Amino acid sequence: MTVSGTIKVTQAGTRVQASHKGNVKTVVFKARSDNTGDVYLGGDDVSSTAGMTLSPGESIQFQLTTPASTSQFWADAVSNDDQVDYIGSV
């Protein structure tokens, strides 16, 4: 089963949780190419100064040992309205 979604950081500096779309073992996150700044990916403690940095257009793939909910991922950004798309599978 494949799941996908988007995390939109409406207010820079305010972390946003990914919606629960299902449990995944493999997930790819990609910062939108038209973002105006970096986005940060992490857990519920991610911030615009701490997290895995994705510049516009960059992506990262996670291979998990145990399936995890997509809602365990959070994003923050330095610019309002920047977005990160994700797609994953079990």
pLDDT digits (tens, 9 = 90+) for 2-49: 999 999 999 999 999 999 999 999 999 999 999 999 999 999 999 977
Mean pLDDT, residues 58-76 taken together: 97
Q: Is the pLDDT of residue 67 over 90?
A: yes
Spell out the domain ranges in the chain.
2-89
Number of residues that this document lists for the chain = 90
CATH of domain 2-89: 2.60.120
